[in-house]
Amino acid sequence: MNYSELTQVMRRLALEAGDAIMEIYERPNLDVETKDDDSPVTAADKAADRLIAQGLAEAFPDTPIVTEEQADTHDVDAITFLIVDPLDGTKEFINRRGDFTVNIAFVEDRAPTRGVVYAPARGRLFYTDSTGRSVEEIGPFEKDTPGETKPLEVSEPDNDALMIVASKSHRDEATDEYINRYAVKDMTSAGSSLKFCLVATGEADLYPRLGRTMEWDTAAGHAVLFGAGGRVVRFDDHTALAYGKPGFANPYFIAYAPGVDLKEG
């Protein structure tokens, strides 16, 4: 894989998808459908999915592509592939809360090594560069010409005063019970894959997820966090979260800055 080309293509497609999403977001009415798993889907999900899938297929015709909106058609038995969530945080989108993202990632040997996370309503763009290091680009964003970037690096956690981020739409009692095992200085909520990015920027130290997620939900944020020095592990045994699993379903997991004294589940 040509990583320079991959970075350019993923970044451009994320920005183009963000434009398509925001055009629909700004309409007075949003048409919402329900998928077979009872999750919502909108015209924005579908438009962004088509745009990204086509762009990736044209640029990387020999690389398998997995996208959320075409998941029923995927029969991928690969350990290296591209994976896309065209609109992560559909509930945030529907409720016009802004915490939704475009996620595109490249998985190599079951690990997400490159990724882009774009939050168009928040004006924040995070991605791995050609070397695998993570950056946040400072807007305004030009499609074909990257602007100024700043490198991302996870925090040096203080285990007596941790900064924790949790899901805005999927917070539950089990998550709160786990968080209560830590000495917490501050607690914040965020939607979609922005939680990974807040750990990557050092704005949070720990993000536990005790709920259902799919690989397309996490791969891009995982890559950005890894490129900033962070880690993502399974909740049950603290081994690395792997990709290319049957059905693309994730177990519970913990994303964190090394130095956090992880508690047992």
Range with the poorest average pLDDT among 10-19, 109-118, 173-182: 173-182
Range with the poorest average pLDDT among 1-5, 159-163, 166-170, 252-256: 166-170
137-164 residue pLDDT tens: 998 999 999 999 999 999 999 999 999 9
pLDDT at 74: 63
Q: Which helix (H) or strand (E) holds 217?
A: helix 215-227
**CATH for 162-256, among 3.30.420.40, 3.90.1150.10, 3.60.20.10, 3.40.190.80?**
3.40.190.80
Helix, strand and coil in the chain, % to nearest 5: 30, 30, 40
Tell me the residue type at 217: D
pLDDT at 132: 97
* Nearest CA among 52, 40, 47 for reference residue 14: 52
In the chain, where does the domain assigned CATH 3.40.190.80 lie? 162-256
* Nearest CA among 101, 253, 130, 95 for reference residue 192: 101
Q: Is 217 annotated as a binding residue?
A: yes
Confidence band for 47, pLDDT divided at 50, 70 and 90: very high
pLDDT at 36: 65
Q: Is 68 annotated as a binding residue?
A: yes
User: If you average pLDDT over residues 17-29, what whole number do you get?
Assistant: 93
Tell me the residue type at 53: A
Query: Quick check: 35 pLDDT over 80?
Result: no
pLDDT at 42: 84
In the chain, where does the domain assigned CATH 3.30.540.10 lie? 3-151
For the chain, percent of residues with pLDDT exceeding 70: 95
Q: Is 186 annotated as a binding residue?
A: no
Q: Is 89 annotated as a binding residue?
A: yes
87-117 residue pLDDT tens: 998 888 888 889 999 999 999 999 999 999 9
Confidence band for 119, pLDDT divided at 50, 70 and 90: very high
User: If you average pLDDT over residues 153-181, what whole number do you get?
Assistant: 90
User: If you average pLDDT over residues 198-220, what whole number do you get?
Assistant: 96
Q: Is 194 annotated as a binding residue?
A: no
Query: Quick check: 180 pLDDT over 70?
Result: yes
HSE-up (13 A, CA, CB side) for residue 207: 33
Q: Is 261 annotated as a binding residue?
A: no
* Average model confidence (pLDDT) across the chain: 93
Q: Is 147 annotated as a binding residue?
A: no
Name the CATH superfamily for 3-151: Fructose-1,6-Bisphosphatase, subunit A, domain 1 (3.30.540.10)
Query: Quick check: 72 pLDDT over 70?
Result: no
pLDDT at 155: 97
Q: Which helix (H) or strand (E) holds 33?
A: strand 32-34
pTM of the entire structure? Answer: 0.94
Confidence band for 38, pLDDT divided at 50, 70 and 90: low
**Going by DSSP bridges, is the β-strand pair 32-34/101-108 parallel, antiparallel, or unpaired?**
unpaired
